[in-house]
Structures are given as structure tokens and as C-alpha cells.
Amino acid sequence: MTKRSRRPISCLFVMVAAAFFVAPAFATPWTPAEWKEHGKLHNWVRDTNHNFVDDLIETQSGQMKVIVDLNQCIGDPSTSQIIQFLRTYGDITHVGKYLSFVIVAGIDRGEAVTIAARPEVAMVELAGADKWLADNYRATKVQNSAFYGTSTLEGMFGWPATLNGSGVGIAFLDTGVDNSFATAHGYNGLTNTEENPAPDPVVDHATWMASWVFGPGSLAPSASLIDIKVGDQNGVDETALLRALEKIYEKKTDWNINVITLMFSGSAQLDGREARQQMLDLLSGVGVLVVAGCGENSADVAVTGPGAATRAIGVSTADIHNTVNRADDTATFVKGPRANDGDIDQLDDLKPEVIMPSGESGTAISNSIATAMTAGLVGLVLDYNPQMADFANKASGSVKDLLIRSAENKGSADTTVAYPKAAPTWDQYWGFGEIDAFAAFTNISPSAQQGRTDLTFRGFDDTAHPSSPWYYSHAVETQSERNGDNITTGVPNKIFARILNDGPQDAERVRISFGFYPFTAGIPKFYDIGSQIINIVKNTVQEVSMDWVPPDLPDEETHGCILVTIDYGYDIRFSGGSNFAQKNIRVHDTASPAVFTFRVENTFPTKAEIRLEVRNANQDWSLTLSENKFFMEDYECARAIQATATPLVPMEPGREALFFVTAYTRPWATEVWHETGGVALKARVGKKPANQVPPTFLLLDK
């Protein structure tokens, strides 16, 4: 039985905040804010000469496959000018459905430079073939041992009889698992078909990895396997991989995909802003736990794997030297941190994050095994606490925090970031420490949780959380709002959030994460602004703030949403929107006109009808929309809607009115309407009397 609700929860796509998870989303591909900075991806780790072409491309000769990252909506692929342009240079193997990219084969180095010069192109990446990476239940404190006794998951938590991953779906993105393992669902990214893919006859990497997670004698024997093939003996195929990540996005609910694991590595540094890493962050943003390797099995290798994605749980391994005793383990493999992504947050660059021991007698020391086992352990966590498995609860950051917070710190601190303890703990080889399964489960057990704390939000007006409507949180404010102004692109601002510790225990070194989502696509991926670490005394409310420079947004993309999450693995409640808050905002450069413009998108994989409804409790005002009912194709770019507020009686300057506009969508050939978004609009009478000038508009949140 699936352990989650289907309550809509995210702030996106239509005008300001939206909840579209009621059906598999397709929608207009989302463009990361990082790809829109004056139309280009600036200061990328693999573009040292700043020509918006991957440095790896410029070292190649002959033809190659590239990923063209776009800074805007593609629209109908059959008529898109950029698609037609790219076809003149090579074969298009894939057009992104949820991210604005195009994969083109048969491109040479000079053509890549020409493509990068196009105004629609943010960056051209090389689509390289990543390599498959070539342990121990007792050393991880899962299985009883002479050394650790019964202080294990087996001894204290019912593993594997009752704690076994039941109800949790884990997707393996690999070479295809053979039929010795039962498969709940399957997909072959190489052929783009929903099927149980056959294993590669030469490199059967997936079956070997699956043996550590699924079936009798494994870590999570009752978890469901979603078998997804993304490569073969030659390595990972980039087209297949990105197709697979899109398939997971579409099928996460229908196939119950709670966890995905990626056990491979590339050869070049990453900073998290690449197409693949952005897709992984997108999946994490909708509640899928991403567990990914951070690099190869050789000594001192840089962070090159998918674990570089900001929201992924980045894994490396340690050598156990054939002993259960963890004291003699050594880690000399992946050497962090990842390349700096240029933001103000140091914490997101600290990869790898956790170490899973491997190398028992007769088995290789393997980042692949370490990553697979970590995915299995995450499956056990979700089995033990179904609230964390509920997609609606945005608990992926808290699961990561749980593993980090309960890890055994090793090595010497290589950073000044004091998290998750009062003193820095992250080491360039050990991350935040070696995974301790027993400690993790002890800290989320009823006995440990009893009397601990429930962290949530509290409105600045002291109202309970979540606010009504849920996308207009009273617990989040901006400095501009406090000043009575709108947010301005490029002008330093500050975001405030109010966190409640509902006692009776202090919460220490809690990670509060801040993100921003520009409302131009039907995808709930937030641009990560950064995070703050705070202590919250029992039975008190703590204000936390984050400095922020609003990004430069294209015309009509002036609306957005701020997301704040409490990423705390030792919390006792994650349900009911307890640990995230969202706030509509408006970003613009000039004073708001009387006519207020927002954008609406179709969030379904088919043509759909959209209906906009106005909620107006202001008897002295009216709000009219340029359109309130229309059809949209699945690929159609965002439609601009104008809202005009009009005072119905004379008013003094400064009078305000708050309106809410909610979008409902009915997919083609169905009768059910789904709530898919909402925007909050505030009108304010200007300095002159209302009968002389129209009101101004502000998007505020109190």
C-alpha cells in the first residue's frame, strides 16, 4: 500500500503558487534561473574562457553529441525556430519535456561555438558517456555482529522481518536488472519504451547492485524495484538518462518511485548547474529522494558524479579492511568539495556528504555498492516513517539531514561551516561522516522522539501554519514587503521566516533552506538561494533571515514564489505542510501599473482547459481578468493574463485590497477539474485620490 497522500503542495506554475501534483505533469519545460542571467549560464566550472561552450567540447575532434541548454520556452517543437536551426547542424535525439534543453548528435567543435552564440542558448554541454563504478551490513550496523552486538537494525528495529522497505519504491538507473529480481515497473531509456529492460550481456552492473538492495538477504528485501535502463557496456547514454529522469517525474506517483539511485561517474568536474543535476534537483523538489555517487573508486578523484546535484544525497565509500570494526576504516577516494556554484551558500558545495563503508572479504571497495546500499537504507527510513515518504511533505532535505546528523564524524574539519554540530565536521574525504544506521534509526524511534520537538512555522501575525491559502504564507516576509515596496531585480533584499519550536526540547544546528521559483513554467523546481543554520530554544519562535539578490528575469516573468523548508531529520512531524512555507512575490524594476500581468501554463501532458476564479472579499473593489477560461496545448508557452483592480468608491491614498486568483485545469477528454495554482494580488491607492489615478499593484504577503 502506498504510504502517502496526494494533496497538492507546491508553489508553481500558474501565477504564483501552484499545486499540480494531482496528475502526472508534462507542461512547458522549465528553465532554471541560472540559465537566464542575461540569457546565458555564466561562470560555469567547465567554461573557463566564458564562450558558453563546454571546455570538454573544445578538446574534442570530430563529431559529438551535445546538450543545448536554452534560456527560454521551446514551444511547439514542430514550429520552433531554435529546433529548426539545430536540425541544420545535426540529429536531434531528444527535446526536454520538463527542462528547456535539446540533445543534438553529430556536432563538431566549430558548430558548437556557432550554436552557443544564438540568443536562445544559455550553454552548450558535452553529452559524455559516464562510467559504471566497480560493504558491509555489519560495519554499517544493520546486521548483528560480535563487535557491535545487537545495537543494530536487526537487533533493535526488526530488520529484515518487519523493517524491510515494504511499500517503498526504489528506482535503479543502470544497465538493466535480470529476471532473478521481481520488477514492479520498468523503462528502457535507450529505446524509450516502458518495459522490463534486459540486462547488458557484457556489463551486468545493475543486477550486481540490485543484489545489495532487493530480495532475500539484501538490505531492503521488500522494497519494490523500478528497473530503468540508461546505458550498457559503453557507459551511460546521456539521452537515455535524461529521458529516464523525465519518465520518473511523470510516473513518480503511478509507479510509487520514492527513491532513485545513480551509481556511475563522469570524468569532469561539476558544480550542480548542469542539465542532469538540475533534473535531479527537480525530482528532489517534488519529494523523490535522490541518492547518487560522487565520483570514481580511485584515490583523490574530484567530485564528478551525479551526487554533485545540490539536493541529492552525495555518497562516497570507505575501505573497511575486512573488519567490522569501523575504527580502522579509511577513506582516500572521492575528494571534495564539488566545484563552487558561485552562490553565497558554502553548505551546498560540501560533497561528498556521507560515506558508506564497503570492501568486505571477496568484494571490491566500491562507490557503486556504497551508493546502492545508501539507497536501500533510505528505503528503510521511509518504511519506518511514512510521513517522510509522502511526496507532499517535501521531506527529502530532512532525510539527508538525518543521515548527516547521525553519521560518525571522521577526519579533520576542512571547512568553517558549523553543521550539524556546533563545531565544523565536514572532511574532504569523509564528508560529514560514515553512515551509522543504528544511530539514524535510534534518533527517529518513538523513544528518542518522545519529548523532543516539533518544528514548524508560525505567522508573523502569530497565526498558525499553514496559512490560508497555503501558498500565501504568513510566516515568510521580505524586506521589501516590510518597507511597503515591491522587489526589484538586482537590488539586494532579504527574506525572513519565522520558525516555531513546539517544545519541549531545544533544537540545535537546524538547517533552514531558502529557494525562489520564477513563475514561467509548470515545474516545481526552486532556484536554491542558500541555507542558514540556527538554534531554536524549546517553546519559542525564532526568526531567521537570508540575504538575497533577486535574479534578472525576462519580460513578463516578474512573478515568483519563495520556498522555505525546515530540513531537520530529528523532527517528529512532517505531515500537513508542517516543514515548508511558500510565499508569492513580485519582482520588477519599475512601479507597478494599474494593469497587473501574470502567466499561466498548462501542467498536464495533454491539451487542457483552464479556468481562473477570483476570490474578492473587498466590497469596494472589483478585479477583472483579460481571460478567465481558455484552452492550452501541452507544449504551449505561458500565456500572459492581465488583472485590473478598480476602486468602486472614492478612496484616500494608501487604501489596500487583497485578491486571490486560483487556476483550475481540466485535461482534455476528462470531466475532473484540478486546482493547479494561485496568485495573490494586492492593490494600493496611489498618492492622489482614487478618482484621479488608478491604483498601483503590489504582490505582498501579510
- Nearest 5°: CA angle at 449, between 444 and 452? 130
pLDDT above 80 for 692: no
Q: How far is CA 244 from CA 232, 310, 367, 376, in A?
A: 14, 19, 22, 20
Strands 621-625 and 595-600: unpaired
Q: Looking at domain 139-263+315-449, which of 1.10.3720.10, 3.40.50.200, 3.30.420.10, 3.20.190.10 is its CATH number?
A: 3.40.50.200
* Per-residue CA distances from 92 to 1, 19, 71, 187, 239 (Å): 41, 32, 18, 21, 10
The predicted structure's pLDDT at residue 556: 62
Write out the three cell numbers for 436: 551509522
Degrees (nearest 5) of the Cα angle 180, 182, 183? 120
Q: Assign 368 to helix, strand or coil.
A: helix
Cα 467–Cα 534–Cα 510 angle in degrees, nearest 5: 75
Give the single-character DSSP code of 288. P
pLDDT higher than threshold 90 for residue 408: yes
pLDDT tens string 451-466: 899 999 999 999 999 9
Half-sphere exposure of 674 (CA within 13 A, CB side): 24
Q: How confident is the model over 410-447, as pLDDT tens digits?
A: 999 999 999 999 999 999 999 999 999 999 999 999 99
Crossing angle of helices 396-405 and 275-285, rounded to 10° = 100
| Residue 178 reports pLDDT greater than 90 | yes
Residue 283 three-state SS: helix
Decide whether 475-586 matches 595-698 in CATH topology.
Answer: yes
Strand partners, 431: 427
Topology (CATH) of 595-698: Immunoglobulin-like (2.60.40)
Residue 659's alpha-carbon distances to 476, 637, 645, in angstroms, are: 18, 25, 9
**Residue showing cell 575501505:** 319
Above pLDDT 70, what percent of the chain? 89
Lowest-confidence pick of 93-97, 421-425, 558-562, 572-576: 558-562
**Domain 475-586 top-level CATH class:** mainly beta
Q: Where are the chain's structural domains? A: 33-126, 139-263+315-449, 475-586, 595-698
pLDDT digits (tens, 9 = 90+) for 315-373: 999 999 989 999 999 999 999 999 999 888 899 999 999 999 998 777 888 999 999 99
Q: Which of 479, 512, 513 is nearest to 494 (CA)?
A: 479
The DSSP secondary structure of 395-452, one letter per residue, reads -HHHHHHHHHHTSB--S---SS---SSSS---BTTTBT-B--HHHHHHHTSHHHHTTS
Q: Around Cβ 61, how many Cβ atoms within 10 Å?
A: 7
How high does pLDDT run on average in the chain?
Answer: 87
Q: pTM of the entire structure?
A: 0.84
Query: What is the average per-residue pLDDT within 651-679?
Result: 87
Return the sign of the alpha-carbon dihedral for residues 243, 246, 250, 256: positive
3-state secondary structure of 227: strand
Positive/negative CA dihedral, 375, 336, 349, 97: negative
Query: Does residue 406 register a pLDDT over 50?
Result: yes
Per-residue pLDDT, 297: 83
d(CA 380, CA 159): 9
Residue of 526 and 13 predicted with greater confidence:
526
Q: What is the mean pLDDT of residues 293-320?
A: 93
Three-state SS annotation for 606-634: CCEEEEEEEEECCCCEEEEECCCEEEECC
Tens digits of residue pLDDT in 254-297: 999 999 999 998 888 899 999 999 999 989 988 999 999 999 88
Question: β-strands 540-548, 507-518: how paired?
Answer: unpaired
DSSP readout, 95-123? Answer: E-SSBSEEEEEEE-HHHHHHHHTSTTEEE
Of 156-170, 362-376, 534-548, 680-694, give the lowest mean pLDDT range: 680-694
The vertex-389 CA angle with 383 and 395, nearest 5°, equals: 125
